[in-house]
Each structure stands twice: as structure tokens, then as C-alpha cells.
Amino acid sequence: MTLAVFFGCTFIAFGPAFGLFLFTIARDPLRIIILIAGAFFWLVSLLLSSLIWFIAVKASDPRDERLQKGLLIFGVMFSVLLQEAFRFLYYKLLRKAIEGLVALSEDGCSPISIQQMAYVAGVGFGLMSGAFSMINLLADALGPGTVGIHGDSQLYFLTSAFMTMVLIFLHTFWGILFFHGCEHRRWWEIAAVVVMHLTVSGSSFCNPLYVGSLVPSYMLMAAAAAWAYLLSGGSAQNLRRFLLCLRSGASPQPGS
């Protein structure tokens, strides 16, 4: 255990997100603020859903296993719905902020577009969600111990790290999809995001049967990635040009 597991799991879970942060968000102060505000909104949604779950648990019989399990499922689903509700609220807030920025700017366009905000908000949600899932695990991984010595899965840390990574990515893409749906009034996109989120959270009930939770989640992530890419103006052609290092609009040339 200890350092190797700690660093391994940290980089698996947060490496891509950290890369995204470093290359796309860290330079622009406005984006950092939107990121942190997104994290805050996720936190508030978690707080409210924990409150509901806590009240429900305290009001119920602690010895009834099935009831507790049912309450947990309810808690998870309610939390997912609340997160999406707060994503919508955050969208509303950012809309107002954009209107303010547009009104204040000289040339009538805001320094940041709603699509960029959607992306940053998604990353904010994802980072906070991932951090809350993973940080305590990482702190424990640093200390002595043996994973799964009582008969649980030995892959606990590793699968948690992978699950966290996929969740961070998913939140990013969901942010883009959700905001796009809100912008263009396509409610089915919003519904798709909610359903996807419920599916991913629901699939985690299969744990420790990791093939039932990780595989669908990664597939959903790929689908969401492709969808978000298309919605953001990407296309197969763009991708081909990018991969072949072609200049846009020019005939194929070596290098760039």
C-alpha cells in the first residue's frame, strides 16, 4: 500500500482532470471563479440531499436492514436529481452573469461564452464530486493496511480511482450537454443527462461486481463524449484534420 497506491490512485482519478484544469482553465481567472462556484453548487446540492437522507435515517428504525438499504437507494437517487437541479440553477446564474458581462462590455460580446462556461461548470461539478468520493480513500491509502482482508474486493482502491475518473469526465460532458439543452430548449437533452446520471449511479449498486458498473459507465462516457463533441461544433472531419495535423481549410500538408 502506501505511497505507490496513493500516487497511483491519485493520478488515475485526478490526472486527466488536472490536465484539463491546467491547460484550459488555469490561465483565465474568470474560469477559475466559475470552476469554484460550480464546485460550490455541487457541494450545496450534496448538503441538501445528505440532510434529507439523514432525517429519513434518523426517523426510521436502524435495525431494519432492508429499510436502510431502501433509504440508501432513495438517498442516492434523490442526490442525483438534486445535483441536476442545481446544475440547472447554476445554468440560470451563469446566464445572468453572461448578460451582465455582455451589457458591460464595449463590443457587445462577453469575454466568455456559454459553451465555455458549460465546460468549466461541468469540470467544477466533476472535480468536487470526485474529490468528495476519493480524498478520504486516498488519505487511508497512505497509511498501513491490507485491502479486502475481510473478504471484500481487493481492487477497491483501483476501481474507486477509475470510477472517480469516469465520473469527472461524465460531469464535464453532462455540463456541456445540459447547458446546450437549456440554451436551445431541447428538453430531451436535459432528460438524457438526468437518465445517464441515474444510470451511472444505479450501476454502482452492482459493486463489487465491477464489470457491471465500470463497463457501462465507460461506455456511457464515450457516448457522452461523442455527443458533447458534436454539440460543441466538432465533426468527423475536424477530428481527422486534427489527427493528421492538417491546417483547417487547406489541402493536406505534412506537419503544421
Partner 1 sequence: MITFMNNSDSEEEPCNERTSLMSAESPPVPSYQDGLQASEAGEVQAHRKRRAGSSRSPNNIAGGEMPGSGVPVRESAPENEEEELTLKYGAKHVIMLFVPVTLCMIVVVATIKSVRFYTEKNGQLIYTPFSEDTPSVGQRLLNSVLNTIIMISVIIVMTVFLVLLYKYRCYKFIHGWLILSSLMLLFLFTYIYLGEVLKTYNVAMDYPTLFLVIWNFGAVGMICIHWKGPLQLQQAYLIMISALMALVFIKYLPEWSAWVILGAISIYDLMAVLCPKGPLRMLVETAQERNEPIFPALIYSSAMMWTVGMAKPDTAARGSSQQTWDTAEDGRERHRSPSHADSQMSETRSPVPTRPITSLEELEEEERGVKLGLGDFIFYSVLVGKAAATASGDWNTTLACFVAILIGLCLTLLLLAVFKKALPALPISITFGLIFYFSTDNLVRPFMDTLASHQLYI
Taking CB under 8 A as the rule, does residue 101 contact partner 1?
yes
C-alpha–C-alpha distance, residues 72 and 77, integer Å: 9
Please list every residue from 34 through 53 that binds partner 1, using CB under 8 A.
36-37, 39-40, 43, 46-47, 49-51, 53
Please list every residue from 209 through 248 that binds partner 1, using CB under 8 A.
none
Interface map 154-193 toward partner 1 (x if CB under 8 A): --x--xx--x---x--------------------------
Give the alpha-carbon dihedral of 77, 58, 138, 203, to 10 degrees.
-20
Choose one: 4-12, 72-80, 223-231, 247-255; the region binding partner 1 (CB under 8 A): 72-80
When binding is defined by CB under 8 A, the residue of 17, 120, 137, 228 that contacts partner 1 is 137
**Per-residue DSSP letters for 134-156?**
HHHHHHHHTSS--TTTTSS-TTH
Long-range contacts: 63-66, Cβ < 8 Å, 24+? none
Give whichever of 98 and 225 is closer to partner 1, judged by the CB atom.
98
Rg (CA), the chain: 20
Distances (CA, A) of 119 to 96, 99, 106, 179, 225: 17, 18, 25, 9, 12
Give whichever of 45 and 231 is closer to partner 1, judged by the CB atom.
45
Q: Are 65 and 75 in contact (CB under 8 A)?
A: no
When binding is defined by CB under 8 A, the residue of 9, 128, 192, 194 that contacts partner 1 is 128
Instruction: Give the interface size with partner 1 as a residue count (CB under 8 A).
Output: 51
Q: Are 25 and 32 in contact (CB under 8 A)?
A: yes
C-alpha–C-alpha distance, residues 70 and 249, integer Å: 57
Q: Are 138 and 6 in contact (CB under 8 A)?
A: yes
Taking CB under 8 A as the rule, does residue 79 contact partner 1?
yes
Could you list the residues that contact partner 1 (CB under 8 A)? 28-30, 32-33, 36-37, 39-40, 43, 46-47, 49-51, 53-54, 57, 72, 75-76, 79-80, 83, 100-101, 103-106, 111, 128-129, 131-133, 135-137, 139, 156, 159-160, 163, 167, 200-201, 204-205, 207-208
